Structure 1
Amino acid sequence: MTTLMLFIAAPVLVTLGLFALRLWLQWAFRIRDRRWVDDPERLTILAERVRVPTRRGRTLSAAWYLPHPGAPVVVMVHGWGANGSHLLFMVPRLLSEGLNVAVFDARCHGQSDDDTFASLPRFAEDAEAVMGALRARGHGDFILLGHSVGAGAVLLTASRNPGIRAVISLSAFSHPEPMMNGWLQERGIPRRPLGLIINRSVEWLIGHRFDDIAPRTTVARIQAPLLLVHGSEDTVVPLWHARRLAQENPRATVLTLPGVQHNDPEGFARHVDPILDWLRPHLRHQDPVELSEHARVFGTP
C-alpha cells in the first residue's frame, strides 16, 4: 500500500513543484516599475500614439514619428524593465537624418498590456508586430535598434527578416546563460544543482532553448550591416560580449563608447554622432523588406 501511495503521489508532487516553480519565476521576473521616464511631447515633434496588436490577443503602446514619407523607419526596442521612453533621447537626431522612428513598449512593460511573462522571444514578437503594423501603413524599409534584452530581440528579429536595412545593437549579451547565472548569484542561489534546474525551467517556461535564441547564435544569420555598440564601463554586460558576437558575423562592426555604462541613456546620448556616422552609408535606396511570417501575422495583407 505504501509503495502504491508513493507511486500515485510522486507525479502529483512533481506537478505541484513545477507549478510552484513557474509561479515563482513569473513573480521573480515581473516588471515592478512601468512608469515612463520621459514624454514624447517633450521632443516638440508630435507623436502619433497608437495601440498595436501583438500575440496572444495583447496590444502594445507605441509612439510613431513618421514625418518623412518613403524614408526608412527605425524600430527601437527597449531593454528589460525599461520602456520606450528610455530611448527617446535618440529620436530627434534620427529624425534630423531624414529617418522615421517607431518607439513602443514591449508586453509587460510601460503602457502595453500584461501577459503571463516577458522574454527575449516575446520582445522580438512585439518588434515584428510593430513592423507588420507599419507595413500595413505603407512603410516597408526598416532599421532595427535595441538595447540589452531589446538588442537581443532585434538580433533575433533581423536573423529571420533578411531584408532589414541595418541593425544597431546597444549592450547586447552573447548568451542568456551567463546572465541568468549572475542573476542567481546575486540572490545567493547556488549554480549547481538549483541554478541549473532554474535555468532549464526558464527555457521550459518561455518555450525556447537558450542556445537557440542566444545572440551569438542569431547574429551569425544576420545579412544586414550590423553595429555592436557597447560601453567600456558596462559591468552588467561586460564588453567581451560584443567582441564575442563580432566573432560570429564578419559584417559586424564593434563601437566601444568610453565611460559609458549599461543603463546609461545620458552616456549613449553623448555618443550618437559615431553611431550616425556608421549608419549614413547604409541609407542608400533599398527595396521594401519582405517580412517573415512572424511579422506578417499582424496588420499586413
Structure 2
Amino acid sequence: MEHSIHAGLFTRAFGPAPRAGTPTVVLVHGLGLSGRYFTPLARRLAANGASVLVPDLPGNARSRAAVRRMPDVERTAEALARWHRQLLPGPTLLVANSVGCQVVVALAVRHPGLAHRLVLLGPALTPGVPAWRQGGRLLADALREPLSLIGVAATDYLLTGPWRFAVSLRHALRDAAEAFEGRLARVAVPTLVVRGAGDTVVSKAWTRRVTRLIADGRATEVAGAAHAAHYSTPEAVAELIEKFAAGQNP
C-alpha cells in the first residue's frame, strides 16, 4: 500500500498505478470514518490486478484539514469528482459503503462521465427513519461486526471528531429525506446493491426499493456479514465486484 494526498484528500493506493486499460476501483467510506476499513477488500482486489484507490473524504480522519466546515453530500461529491479527475484517466467502478453510497450516487448523477458502474454496499441512510432509530440500528449492528472493525471505527471517529460527525449526520439525514431517492432514479450506469444478510442498518425492504429505483439495478446478499460486509467477508465481496465488473450476474 502507498499513500499520498491529491486534491486535498488523503489517498491509499493498492495494486498497479491507474492507467488506461487497467481496471480501476475507487472505494468510498461511510459517515465519520476513513478508508482504512476497506484495506482487506482493497488488497484482495489488487491481488487480481486491479488498481484500487481509497480516499478519506473531506473533513474525515486524515483528510480532516481539507475543509474548515464539513461539506454536505453534494459538496462532498464535488470534492470527490475533483480528486477523481486529478488522479484517474477515465471512468471507474465506484464502490461505496453506507452513507458513502449517497456521495457516489450524487457524483454519478452530477458527473456521469466519471463512473461506468456502481456497487452500493449497505446503502444508507433510509429516508423517513429518524436519527435516533438509525443510531439504534448502528449500535445493534456493531454487535455483529468483528471486534477489530470496532477498533478501527473508534479511532476514525476520534480523528474526525464528534462535532464534525454530528454535522455530517445532519447533512446525510437531509440528503436522504430530500434528494437520495430522486438521484437513485437518475443513475444511468449498471449498479449492484449488496446487503450483508445480518445487516441491522439497511433493511431488505429498503434494499429492494433502492434496486427498483435504479434503471439497471440488481441486488444480492452476502451470508455471514452485517453492515460492513467488505470488512468481515472481503473474499466474497471481491468476487461479487469482479463478476459484476466483468458483466456477469453475481
Q: Which category describes the TM-score, using the shorter chain as reference length? A: 0.7 to 0.9
- Matches for 1:1-301 after TM superposition, within 5 Å: 40=1, 47=2, 49-53=3-7, 59-65=8-14, 66-67=16-17, 69-70=19-20, 71-114=22-65, 115-135=68-88, 139-163=89-113, 164-173=115-124, 175-178=126-129, 180=131, 182-183=133-134, 206=171, 210-214=176-180, 216-271=181-236, 272-281=238-247
- Give the Cα separation in 2 of the matches to 1:145 and 1:76: 5
* TM-score, normalised with respect to structure 1: 0.62
Give secondary structure in 2 for the equivalent of 1:243. Answer: helix
The letter for the 2-side match of 1:60 is L
Contact 2:99 2:125 in 1 (8 A): no
**Offset at 1:184?**
7.2
Contact 2:41 2:230 in 1 (8 A): no
CA 1:238/1:160 → structure 2, altered by over 3 Å: closer, same or farther? Answer: same
Aligned to 1:13: none
**Offset at 1:150?**
0.7
Listed one character per residue, the Cα deviations across residues 241-295 of structure 1 (whole Å, up to 9, x for unaligned) are 211111112310101112211135443314122332222128xxxxxxxxxxxxx
Figure out how many residues of one structure are paired with residues of the other and give that number: 211
The letter for the 2-side match of 1:146 is A
Listed one character per residue, the Cα deviations across residues 210-261 of structure 1 (whole Å, up to 9, x for unaligned) are 44431x2211111111000111111122222211111112310101112211
**Offset at 1:122?**
3.9
Asked which structure has the greater CA Rg, the reply is 1
| Gaps in structure 1 of 5+ consecutive residues | 1-39, 41-46, 54-58, 187-201, 283-301
- Give the Cα separation in 1 of the matches to 2:175 and 2:32: 22
**Offset at 1:146?**
0.5
CA 1:184/1:99 → structure 2, altered by over 3 Å: closer, same or farther? Answer: closer
**Offset at 1:86?**
0.8
CA 1:51/1:279 → structure 2, altered by over 3 Å: closer, same or farther? Answer: same
- Give the Cα separation in 2 of the matches to 1:185 and 1:274: 29
Give secondary structure in 1 for the equivalent of 2:112. Answer: coil
Aligned to 1:295: none
Contact 1:120 1:149 in 2 (8 A): no
Contact 2:6 2:83 in 1 (8 A): yes
The letter for the 1-side match of 2:203 is P
Report which stretch shifted further, 121-130 or 238-247: 121-130
Give secondary structure in 2 for the equivalent of 1:112. Answer: helix
Identity %: 23
The letter for the 1-side match of 2:133 is G
* TM-score, normalised with respect to structure 2: 0.73
Flag the structure with more relative contact order, 1 or 2, with Cα contacts below 8 A and sequence separation at least 6: 2
